[in-house]
């Protein structure tokens, strides 16, 4: 293990942003996730960012002195910097400069395990690098592979060559990604054909989405061995996990767990991960997981809502799951108005969440009676497999079934229906 890099964090609070301190705290956590030791933080209140240097000239001198005093290796800025800002800051600070975007890209690169996630991250990194060839220094960190990052003073021809190389590489990667995306779309089409409802977990990074998925699997499919990775760290999940949750009464739904959000999530990443995030856009129900133990939970919930809006995800029913209440002084489970307060780690509230999900996605279930002729045994098999058969009576002209099933199944077998009644009581 090499020595940890030492960094100074710098942030500008423009017009007293209410979430500024929490975004600086998050920057600290992002640096920590990259195994960088934070040795100092510098903050400045401004009416607007300094166009040339992001911070004022006095602050540059202050940061420069801190680097000399504490022996810093790099300075990390809390917002995405323009190519000229990186150039000017590196000249003024005589030190490597990176921004929040590079930090997030680095974490994604470390966490990406599947081919799809690796392609998505590399595309986002290259798109970030493209306008920053001059003066980027070694800013893209250990993961970048160095394409076009060592070009200070290397001449226009070399820059153009590097730019072309990066553009060509982006095109190759995007074609590879398109193939995987097409496979994912086919999988979604197959699911739609089977008419299985899809429920997507969304929320801030490290809110506990994977823990909720595992808790639901433990509750309904305890021997499935389909648990997903859950870890107390930022962006533990980059890959989309899809699991089939089988409920009693032959009802099942697909539960998807996607990448978590963070404030100022780089637009290159949102763009690159769009195919993964389409799982969310096509869901029948969203579970917005909120880390209720975080003092910044309201802002984090707002960031999630805003990111979903940017992705064009609107109009999908949503349940709010306030997680980690075991860390608070609150009696659980607590339920009301599309909200459930729970502890996914210790499981109180998981049954209530499951009931809430059932109430939302199985609204179109009805109870009915059918008489199926004895020569139509395949229809009885179908209902035994795809519906909740409450009673079976063998009569002269066929098998009488009392079932709870989807309206669509009822319509398909209308010829055999005796009567239909929501809330039908056989007694």
* pLDDT tens string 352-374: 999 899 888 888 788 889 999 99
Residue range 203-214: mean pLDDT, rounded: 88
Full-model pTM: 0.76
Please list, in sequence order, all residues whose beta carbon lies within 8 angstroms of the beta carbon of residue 376, skipping any fewer than 6 positions away.
398, 416
Report whether pLDDT(76) > 90. yes
Tell me if residue 379 falls in helix, strand or coil.
helix
Q: How far apart are CA 388 and CA 250, in angstroms?
A: 6
**pLDDT tens, position by position, 7-42:** 999 999 998 888 899 889 989 988 988 889 999 999
- Angle separating helix axes 100-111 and 20-33, nearest 10 degrees: 40
Q: Is the pLDDT of residue 422 over 50?
A: no
CA of residue 71 relative to chain centroid, distance: 37
Beta strands 241-247; 285-291: pairing state: unpaired
How far, in Å, CA of 58 to CA of 304, rounded?
36
Question: If you average pLDDT over residues 80-107, what whole number do you get?
Answer: 91
3-class DSSP assignment, residue 119: helix
pLDDT band at 199 (very low <50, low <70, confident <90, very high): very high
Domains parsed from the chain with CATH numbers: 5-104 (3.40.50.11060), 112-181 (no CATH), 196-361 (3.40.50.300), 365-421 (3.30.70)
- What pLDDT was estimated at residue 184? 78
Which residues, including other chains, have CB under 8 Å from residue 75's CB and lie 6 or more apart? 7, 8, 9, 10, 63, 67, 89, 93, 95, 96, 97, 98
Cβ neighbours of residue 245 closer than 8 Å, sequence gap 6 or more: 199, 216, 217, 220, 221, 252, 253, 254, 255
Closest CA to 29 of 327, 228, 294, 267: 294
Range with lowest mean pLDDT among 69-73, 146-150, 403-407: 146-150
């Amino acid at each position: 293990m090499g020595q940890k890099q030492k960094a100074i964090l710098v942030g500008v609070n423009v017009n007293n942003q209410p979430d500024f301190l929490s975004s600086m705290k998050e920057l600290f956590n992002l640096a920590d996730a990259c195994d960088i030791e934070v040795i100092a933080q510098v903050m400045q209140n401004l009416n607007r960012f300094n166009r040339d240097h992001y911070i004022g000239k006095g602050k540059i001198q202050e940061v420069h002195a801190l680097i000399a005093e504490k022996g810093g290796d790099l300075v990390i800025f809390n917002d995405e910097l323009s190519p000229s800002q990186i150039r000017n800051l590196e000249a003024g600070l005589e030190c490597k400069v990176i921004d929040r975007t590079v930090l997030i890209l680095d974490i994604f690169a470390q966490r990406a395990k599947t081919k799809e996630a690796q392609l998505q991250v590399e595309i986002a990194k290259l798109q970030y690098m493209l306008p920053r060839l001059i003066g980027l220094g070694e800013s893209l960190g250990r993961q970048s592979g160095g394409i076009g990052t060592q070009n200070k003073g290397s001449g226009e021809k070399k820059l153009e060559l590097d730019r072309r190389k990066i553009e060509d590489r982006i095109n190759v990667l995007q074609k590879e990604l398109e193939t995987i995306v097409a496979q994912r779309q086919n999988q979604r089409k197959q699911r739609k054909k089977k008419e299985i409802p899809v429920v997507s977990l969304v929320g801030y990074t490290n809110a506990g989405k994977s823990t909720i998925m595992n808790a639901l699997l433990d509750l309904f499919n305890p021997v499935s061995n389909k648990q997903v990775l859950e870890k107390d760290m930022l962006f533990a999940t980059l890959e989309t996990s899809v699991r089939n949750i089988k409920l009693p009464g032959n009802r099942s739904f697909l539960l998807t767990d996607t990448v978590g959000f963070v404030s100022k999530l780089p637009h290159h990443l949102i763009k690159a991960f769009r195919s993964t995030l389409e799982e969310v856009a096509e869901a029948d129900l969203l579970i917005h997981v909120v880390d209720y133990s975080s003092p910044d939970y309201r802002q984090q919930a707002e960031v999630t809502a805003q990111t979903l809006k940017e992705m064009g995800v609107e109009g999908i029913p949503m349940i709010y799951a306030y997680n980690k209440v075991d860390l608070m002084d609150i009696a659980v489970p607590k339920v009301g108005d599309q909200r459930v307060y729970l502890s996914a780690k210790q499981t109180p509230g998981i049954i209530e969440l499951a009931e809430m999900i059932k109430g939302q996605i199985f609204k179109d279930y009805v109870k009915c009676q059918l008489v199926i002729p004895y020569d139509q045994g395949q229809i009885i098999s179908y209902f035994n497999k795809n519906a909740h058969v409450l009673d079976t009576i063998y009569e002269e002209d066929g098998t009488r079934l009392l079932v709870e099933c989807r309206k669509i199944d009822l319509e398909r077998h209308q010829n055999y229906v005796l009567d239909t009644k929501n809330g039908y009581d056989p007694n």
